[in-house]
Amino acid sequence: MTTPGEMSEADQIKTFKDFLTQYNKLSELCFNDCVHDFTSRKLRSSEDKCTVNCMEKYLRTNQRVSQRFHEFQMIANENMLALAQKSPN
């Protein structure tokens, strides 16, 4: 076991992997949603702005979904506990 507050190596690798996966997904999403014009080699300023907004918005989306998700998790856990206490087997 690890000391509290410190991640095991496996956990750290998992976190890093999740980060990279998220990074790739974000690039794909924002590229597909923001970049449509290939008449120029450089990113247009509108494309640049769009991609940055896209990224920030996605992260905020994730944050909000995470909050709601955990609320539902908590309720589900409480229900499960109540159920287990009512009928111990």
> Does residue number 65 form part of the binding site for other proteins (CB under 8 A)?
yes
Q: How many residues bind other proteins (CB under 8 A)?
A: 30
Structure tokens given for 33: 């949603």
* Per-residue burial over 24-35, b = 16 or more CB atoms within 10 Å of its CB, e = otherwise: eebeeebeeebe
Q: What is the CA radius of gyration of the chain?
A: 21
Query: Where in 5-44 is the site for other proteins (CB under 8 A)?
Result: 18, 29-30, 33-34
Binding footprint of other proteins on the chain (CB under 8 A): 18, 29-30, 33-34, 49-54, 56-58, 60-62, 64-66, 68-69, 72, 76, 79-80, 83-84, 87, 89
